[in-house]
Amino acid sequence: MPITKADIVPWSEENFIRGGGPGGQNVNKVASTVQLRFNLAECETIEAPAKARIMRQLQSRITNDGELIVRSNEHRTQERNREAAWARLLTMLNEAARRPKFRVPTRPSRAAKRKRIDTKTKRGAVKALRGRIDPD
């Protein structure tokens, strides 16, 4: 089941900060960058196995207090940055929480092995014909 915004809003906090970088006078006056903090450690709506997968895959983005921090400053307005930050957070959580497919290990068949060796032999013969021609 995918994680939705409604599942994580109670454990989230939005802060607006002034963005750095170029932008003229506007960048010094307007706090349009959003910093979204999601407390993954205290969240009760995400199941334990999914939470463990998220913690493992996103460990470089999670603080010691168990908060996942996402910043967005690619847009000029607070509202668009807020939407972008929420979209990025939900995408990250859903991708990390997805259970990996169970892979059944298989072996190549005898025919597949034979075909591979035959193809390599033919390719080697073609390459051998590319050599220098002996004048004798």
Residue 73 phi/psi, 5-degree rounding, is -140, 25
Count CB-CB contacts under 10 A for residue 96: 18
What is the pTM (predicted TM-score) of this model?
0.65
The domain segmentation of the chain, as residue ranges, is 5-97
Report how far residue 26's alpha carbon sits from residue 52's, in angstroms, rounded to the nearest whole number. 42
64 token code pair? 């010691």
Could you please state the CATH topology (level 3) that the domain comprising 5-97 is classified under: Double Stranded RNA Binding Domain (3.30.160)
Each residue's pLDDT tens digit, 54-105: 888 888 888 888 888 888 888 877 888 888 998 988 888 888 878 888 999 9
Helix (H) or strand (E) holding 68: strand 67-72
Spatial strand order of the sheet with 67-72 comes to 12-17, 33-39, 67-72
Report how far residue 61's alpha carbon sits from residue 100's, in angstroms, rounded to the nearest whole number. 21
Mean pLDDT on 96-124: 93
